[in-house]
């Protein structure tokens, strides 16, 4: 494989998150490998090649995945000062046709609402791993953190208030690449669960959530993908059905907390602030089922009542 484009990706270090850079690499690697198999030229790629690539993967890949792949192709071409083939009208028309046929909507993670959250927490053990998992679920729900944000939290950024509640600084996020940061709220119960884990793991600074070994705790933080595995493991121990476990993801705590906030009458702006959303679109999508149900109930209540016919 031509390594020139791999070397150019190092120019992004410091300007983009590690996850973003890894994503660009993985997406372009897929395109590059497809070009090698089909005999197409990947660098610089012709617009017709990108159109053919879209046609090859649109049956098996979600629209969001295809759009992300195009971002990777575009980024590598720009880094090497090649023209961006994804901006050609033929590529845009191919994407438009695909979206009209399949739709743009993505599957939403199952929301870990309060009742479901407590079932998972109750299923966690009392050993160090159980204490960690209990704290991850509680902190993830309270702060509405994305999984990448959750595993990046630092012990020295946790503050306890006089009433037993606390806060933690979320230094960076997907929508905050320059590091302005935001504070996440921690309820008194969550603070107790977090404190129990930190004390058992003897953590005073550095990553809060780490791998647990039989006789020690790792120095490095967890990988973000491990958050999903932790949720699914707790769900299995809680006796939840296979379909519920399948729908759980690292976003479930974030979705569940947003659903609960809306269900409890909290306005959209505070929900956006709590979750670090810059626009209301995603929050509205998370909560549309609640809004739909309430609208339906209001409509039924407004119908004239009639006696037996």
Q: For residues 288 and 1, give the distance between their C-alpha atoms in angstroms, rounded to a whole number.
A: 46
CA distance 187 to 35: 52
CATH of the domain at 217: 1.10.443.10
Helices H, strands E: what count in the chain? 14, 5
Cα–Cα distance for residue pair 27/71, rounded to 1 Å: 8
Give the pLDDT confidence score for residue 300 in this predicted structure: 37
CATH number of the domain within which 66 lies: 1.10.150.130
Q: What is the pLDDT of residue 169?
A: 94
Task: Give the H/E segment covering residue 211.
Answer: strand 210-212
User: Is 96 part of any domain?
Assistant: yes
The sign of the dihedral angle between the CA atoms of 111, 112, 116, 119 is: positive
Higher pLDDT, 19 or 155: 155
Identify the sign of the CA torsion 67, 69, 73, 78: positive
Residues 24 and 47 in one domain: yes
d(CA 178, CA 181): 9
Give the residue ranges of DSSP H helices in 88-224.
89-102, 114-122, 128-143, 147-150, 188-201
DSSP 112: -
Domain final residue pick, 102, 137, 161: 102
Instruction: Mark whether 55 and 135 lie in a shared domain.
Output: no
Specify the pLDDT at position 303: 44
- What's the rounded Cα separation, in Å, for the pair 42 and 49? 8
* Percentage, residues of the chain above pLDDT 90: 50
Distance CA 212, CA 197 (A): 11
| Pairwise CA distance, residues 272 & 284, whole Å | 10
Domain boundary among 40, 68, 102: 102
Sorted by sequence, the CB contacts under 8 Å of residue 68 that are 6+ apart come out as 23, 27
- The pLDDT assigned to 201 comes to 96
pLDDT tier for residue 53 given thresholds of 50, 70 and 90: very high
Report the candidate in 52, 59, 5 with the shortest Cα–Cα distance to residue 27: 5
Give the domain range for residue 17: 4-102
For residues 81 and 145, state if they share a domain. Answer: no
Same domain, 126 and 85: no
The answer to the question of residue 258 being in a domain is yes
| Nearest-angstrom CA–CA distance, 277 and 283 | 8
Asked which of 71-75, 176-180, 200-204, 211-215 is least confident by mean pLDDT, the reply is: 176-180
- pLDDT band (50, 70, 90) for residue 11: confident
Domain total for the chain? Answer: 2
Confidence of residue 179 (pLDDT cuts 50, 70, 90): low
Q: Do 122 and 182 belong together in one domain?
A: yes
pLDDT at 228 over 50: yes
Task: Determine the Cα–Cα distance for residues 297 and 238; give it in Å rounded to an integer.
Answer: 32
Claim to verify: residue 136 and residue 35 sit in the same structural domain: no
**Residue-level pLDDT at 299:** 39
| Start-to-end C-alpha separation, the chain | 77
Q: Identify which has the larger pLDDT, 65 or 174.
A: 65
- pLDDT over 90 at 281, yes or no: no
pLDDT band at 15 (very low <50, low <70, confident <90, very high): confident
How many Å apart are CA 7 and CA 81, to the nearest integer? Answer: 14
Per-residue confidence band for 304, with pLDDT thresholds at 50, 70 and 90: low
CA distance 120 to 130: 11
Collapsed DSSP state (helix, strand, coil) of residue 183:
strand
Percentage of the residues of the chain whose pLDDT score is greater than 70: 84
Q: Is the pLDDT of residue 49 over 90?
A: yes
Q: Same structural domain for residues 40 and 94?
A: yes
Domain end among 102, 128, 152: 102
């Amino acid at each position: 494989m031509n390594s020139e484009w791999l070397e150019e990706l190092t120019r992004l270090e410091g300007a983009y998150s590690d996850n973003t850079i890894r994503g660009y690499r993985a997406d372009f690697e897929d395109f590059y490998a497809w070009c090698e198999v089909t005999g197409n030229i990947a660098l610089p790629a012709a617009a017709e090649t990108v159109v053919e690539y879209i046609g090859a993967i649109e049956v098996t890949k979600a629209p969001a995945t295809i759009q992300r792949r195009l971002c990777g192709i575009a980024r590598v071409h720009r880094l090497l000062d090649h023209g961006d083939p994804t901006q050609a009208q033929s590529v845009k028309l191919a994407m438009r046709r695909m979206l009209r046929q399949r739709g743009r909507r993505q599957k939403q993670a199952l929301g870990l609402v309060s009742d479901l959250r407590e079932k998972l927490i109750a299923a966690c053990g009392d050993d160090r791993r159980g204490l960690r998992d209990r704290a991850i679920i509680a902190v993830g729900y309270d702060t509405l953190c994305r999984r990448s944000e959750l595993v990046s939290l630092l012990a020295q950024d946790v503050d306890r208030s006089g009433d037993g509640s606390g806060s933690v600084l979320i230094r960076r996020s997907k929508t905050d690449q320059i590091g302005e940061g935001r504070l996440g709220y921690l309820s008194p119960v969550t603070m107790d669960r977090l404190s129990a884990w930190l004390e058992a793991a003897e953590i005073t600074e550095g990553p809060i959530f780490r791998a647990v070994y039989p006789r020690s705790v790792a120095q490095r933080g967890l990988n973000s993908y491990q958050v999903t595995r932790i949720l699914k493991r707790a769900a299995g121990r809680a006796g939840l059905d296979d379909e519920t476990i399948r729908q759980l993801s690292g976003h479930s705590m974030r979705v569940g907390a947003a659903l609960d906030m809306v269900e409890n009458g909290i306005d959209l702006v505070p929900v956006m602030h709590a979750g670090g959303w810059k626009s209301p679109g995603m929050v509205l999508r998370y909560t549309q089922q609640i809004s739909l149900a309430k609208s339906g109930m209001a409509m039924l209540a407004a119908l004239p009542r009639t006696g037996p016919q």
